[in-house]
Structure 1
Amino acid sequence: MKCLTCNVQMVGRSDKKFCSMSCKNQYHFERKKETKDEVKIIDSYLHRNREILMVLMGKYGKLMTKKIVLDQANFRWDYCTGLYKNKEGKQFYLVYDFAYCQFTNGEVMLIRKSK
């Protein structure tokens, strides 16, 4: 059996995967690093979307705007933190404490969750 990190031939138990704790730690660090990097990118998109909504809304709790305004601010439509369908069947996309609903006429309703 060879170590999964450094490929050193090991002696001992047949189910042993690593020759040392440092090799084990390095292996798991590298595996998690890829996932962490992907999560960082997605998280930055979500935070940017929230920042755009926060700036547009100002002190308003509810606001109608044009989709193009969000497009020009580089809003990423394909990233949200959740979905909600109201009683009327309208789909709302959640971005942390904000929600938005797109209409066919190119308008978007923005809503801030009350604190």
Structure 2
Amino acid sequence: MAGRSDKKFCSDQCRAAAGNRRKISDEGEQLMRQVNATLRRNRHLLKQASPLGKTTIRRTALELHGFDFRHFTHLYRARNGNTYHFCYDYGYMLLEEEKMLIVNWQQYMGK
């Protein structure tokens, strides 16, 4: 071993491997990774379904591709009382007849 006498790892590879093992063993980290993956997938599906930023589709169209309605980043309540569920910058509002309106966040919607 070369370098400082008090170093903890023999190389950068050993240090990185130890860090990876620590992350894998932490259940909280695993849950966060799973939730983040679900949020990213939800956002991707919303973006894919509405490339122009606003569209109406059937709820089952997203469910068939693995959309998880339990996970979203935030809610937005419009002045007219409508509530939108957002996955980062793409959101949806549930409509009648199992349909949903997909929107892209616009500055005029919020702050």
TM-score relative to the length of structure 1:
0.68
Shift of 1:112: 1.0
Shift of 1:114: 4.1
Match runs of 1:29-40 below 5 Å: 33-40=26-33
- For structure 1, list consecutive stretches of 5 or more residues without a partner in the other structure: 1-21, 23-28
Shift of 1:104: 2.5
TM-score relative to the length of structure 2:
0.70
Query: How many aligned positions are there?
Result: 86
- For structure 2, list consecutive stretches of 5 or more residues without a partner in the other structure: 1-7, 9-21
How much is the aligned-residue C-alpha RMSD, in angstroms? 2.0
Q: For the residues of structure 1 that align with 2:63 and 2:26, how far apart are their CA atoms?
A: 32
- Higher-Rg structure is 1
**Retained in 1: the 8 A contact 2:47–2:53?**
no
Task: Give the 4+ runs in structure 1 shifted more than 2 A.
Answer: none
Shift of 1:97: 0.7
Q: Deviations over 1:56-109 (max 9, x none)?
A: 112x12111111111111100000000111111111001001010001221100
Which amino acid is 1:49 matched to?
A: N
